[in-house]
Chain A
Amino acid sequence: MATIKIPPVLRASVGGEKEVSASGENVGDVLKDLASTHPATQSQLFSAEGELNRYVNVYLNDEDVRVLDGLATAVGDSDTLVILPAMAGGR
């Protein structure tokens, strides 16, 4: 099971957790597992076509999966996925 760090805006969708575990061979499978356990995250992560939404960045450990193999990037049990939507608060 890989660890997924959940950003503040998605925490309500996973019962308030900051970190959850999900299983899968690659990034896409891990995120789909997350979405099946927590259905509210589905539309926030994926477009209707099943692509990762362009406004959400996903990092395998510290690397952007878009410069790796995208959703096909292999994930090990000791890996951490960081989900990161843009944040704009400053006041």
Chain B
Amino acid sequence: MSPSGAELLRQVKSQIEEVDPSEVAELIDEGVTVIDVRETEEYAAGHLPGARHVPRSYLESRIEGVVPDRSTQVILYCASGNRSAYGARTLKDELGYEHVRSMTGGITLWKDRGYEVEVPRTLTPEQRERYSRHMLVPEIGIEGQQKLLDAKVLLLGAGGLGSPTALYLAAAGVGTLGIVDDDVVDLSNLQRQVIHSTQRIGIPKVDSAEESIHALNPDVNVVKYQTRIDASNIVEIIEGYDVIVDGVDNFPTRYLLNDASVRLKIPVVSASILGFDGQLSVFKPYEGPCYRCLFREPPPAELAPSCGANGVLGVLPGTMGLLQATEVVKLVVGIGEPAIGRLLLYDALGATLTEVKVHRDPECPICSRDPQDIADEELGVFPDYEAFCAAAG
């Protein structure tokens, strides 16, 4: 005869290990993995500190994304300790997790004992739907999405690189996007600058970009800086941003940005493009090299095609800009291995990606020193490059 529900529960509980909330409270301080197997609304109303959410109905399909190593110590809980008992049996008997336990009495007993409950900030139903494909990626999930929504990312330039970066970061739900650009949309931009449009030729790029961003995701707060970045305004503009995306088209600004971002300890995701070639690296101050560690000084004008107008494959800034957007998301969410200390070289014609190492220069004029020792007048100190470019024609 088949067992009753109550009998089945007794059987299951006899086959698994249970753990008292008092022990869980101690283990949480030691960093044990705690999984909440309740439904989404229950988790949103409050959960154990640091608990990850894997609803019981998705346990088999999603647990490996959250706990890839089967020898990890895992504690499951639910409201009263029943659903988590079934879940623990599944993990132990069917998926081979070696150290899995179910918390006795669930979060109800946990609260009765007076232990702390963390109430997560919740997403609106519209946000849940919009970002649902992020929620399904274990490395991002609701916590990662919340970090994206809280993030402030500054884009230097709404041109070739800035266009795709801005669109995808807006789509990904980055809460605040600052855009610095003093230019207006020109017909010759539209071969690659996909954030603008034929109807918006002649209007400022920051306004055009804002329109496209809001059409894609009205939640994004766009902060517009219709100006050229220089030594007098850079600190004021970049201060307070979490990540800066460097898509500028000239060396003086790249060096200026480097020096200011090192002083303010803001990571910069940097890319450059020319013809069919692209370069990308992430400069995270004091954790990896800075731009001056990579290129101590700029090349002379004849080796610096950025001085004048040069050709570029229209698709290339798309490729490089989206690699930048990917690095931004990784930095914000805190996942993967950002390209810190590495320079990626993309050759579109050959369809090859080459990687070289970039080391911190112990004699770097900027990042070998403490940030507070880098003075205002030192930011972006540079040969008189604009005069040099002008002289070179």
A positions within 8 Å CB-CB of B: 5, 7-10, 18, 44, 53-57, 59, 62-64, 67, 82, 84-91
Contacts and interface: CB of A to CB of B under 8 A. Distances in A.
B248 A88 contact: yes
Interface stretch (B104-112, B114-122, B355-363): B355-363
Contacts of B271: 90
A82 B302 CA distance: 20
Nearest to B160: A91
Interface string B340-372: 000101010110001111110000000000000
B191 to A, nearest CB: 11
Contacts, number: 105
User: What 6 A-B pairs are tightest by C-beta distance, nearest first?
Assistant: A88-B306, A86-B295, A91-B159, A90-B247, A55-B299, A87-B272
B13 to A, nearest CB: 56
B212 interface: no
Contacts of A91: 157, 159-161, 189, 247, 249, 312
25 contacts: A5-B354, A8-B276, A54-B296, A55-B296, A55-B303, A57-B356, A59-B357, A64-B359, A84-B343, A84-B345, A86-B251, A86-B299, A87-B272, A87-B279, A87-B305, A87-B306, A88-B251, A88-B306, A89-B312, A90-B157, A90-B161, A90-B246, A90-B249, A90-B272, A91-B247
Contacts of B298: 55, 86, 88
Given A9-B304, A62-B355, A90-B317, 5 more contacts: A9-B303, A63-B356, A64-B358, A87-B273, A88-B249
Contact of B350 (A18, A59, A84): A18
B340 to A, nearest CB: 15
B310 interface: yes
Contacts of B159: 90-91
B202 interface: no
A89 B96 CA distance: 53
Nearest to B252: A88
A90 B180 CA distance: 13
A63 B275 CA distance: 25
Nearest to A53: B299
Contacts of A88: 248-251, 254, 272, 298, 304, 306
A89 B249 contact: yes
A59 B294 CA distance: 12
A62 B306 contact: no
A86 B250 CA distance: 11
Contacts of A86: 251, 294-295, 298-299, 304
Interface in B222-257: 246-251, 254
Contact of B354 (A9, A82, A90): A82
Nearest to A56: B299
B335 interface: no
B277 interface: yes
A84 B248 CA distance: 19
